[in-house]
Amino acid sequence: MNSLIIIKIGGNVIDNPDVLKQFLTAFRGIPGHKILIHGGGKIATQVAEKLSIPTTMVEGRRITDQPMLDVVTMVYGGLVNKQIVAQLQAIGVDAIGLTGADANTVRSRKRAVGAIDYGFVGDIEEVNSGQIQYFIRQNLVPVFAPLTYERSGNLLNTNADTMASAIAVDTAIRNEVTLVYCFEKKGVLSDPENDDSVISALTPETYADYKNKGVINKGMIPKLDNAFRALEKGVKKVIICHANQVAEAVSGSGVGTVLQSTV
């Protein structure tokens, strides 16, 4: 099987031009086939504010009404995605910018209304890994914005961590996939106030123990839940690390937090 590296970067990387440039340079140096998935929530909030469109967040998740859907489509699928693609082209990486609607790569359904109506938010139903593989075989690097679409033709705002996990799981049928989540910390921390308190490895059992003790909490939980589901469904390895450590993490030099399955 071929190896495939799938990397997700968050808004804290994208928001800082110098950090993003450093990351993309490191990304270029990673050998083999690779896919990049990005967020961009802070930029979307800034643009919405300029347009006098209110931003509503519930437990860290964005409520996406029609005006906000227009904003995230412009920001994620346009501004952020194409800036990343252009910067990759400038350093010699032949990239193609995509949303889930492009080439029918990621289809979803609008999240059902429960206690909270999240609006135009998509829960992923299907990943077209065959089409993604086609792009890779053409020596293109897919760069995905966190937007999917539903059968009726509507675009839907979709969590970038979830999108990365879903793409990793589906492409793992044909590849040995390493999924890397890059953000502003050096990994999963045992002490949020100490950037060097990196937990080097997590299993489902140690993860549950850390959660029960409150060591791992808040926004890290959905990220890790996605990561462990990916391992259960065939992804070879999941790493969580700082964006400027991505090359070292992929090479297996021991930085970041490596998630291990006990299956």
- The response to whether 12 counts as a known ligand-binding position is no
Question: Of 243, 206, 209, 241, which is closest to residue 223 (Cα–Cα)?
Answer: 241
CA angle 71, 76, 78 (to 5 degrees): 90
CA torsion, points 11, 248, 175, 7, in degrees to nearest 10?
0
Q: Is the Cβ–Cβ distance between 79 and 99 less than 8 Å?
A: no
Residues contacting residue 215 through CB under 8 Å, at least 6 positions apart: 190
96 CA to centre of own chain: 16
- Residue 248 CA to residue 193 CA, distance in Å, equals 24
- The response to whether 157 counts as a known ligand-binding position is yes
- Residue 107 CA to residue 123 CA, distance in Å, equals 9
Residues in binding site for substrate: 40-41, 62, 157
Residues in binding site: 40-41, 62, 157
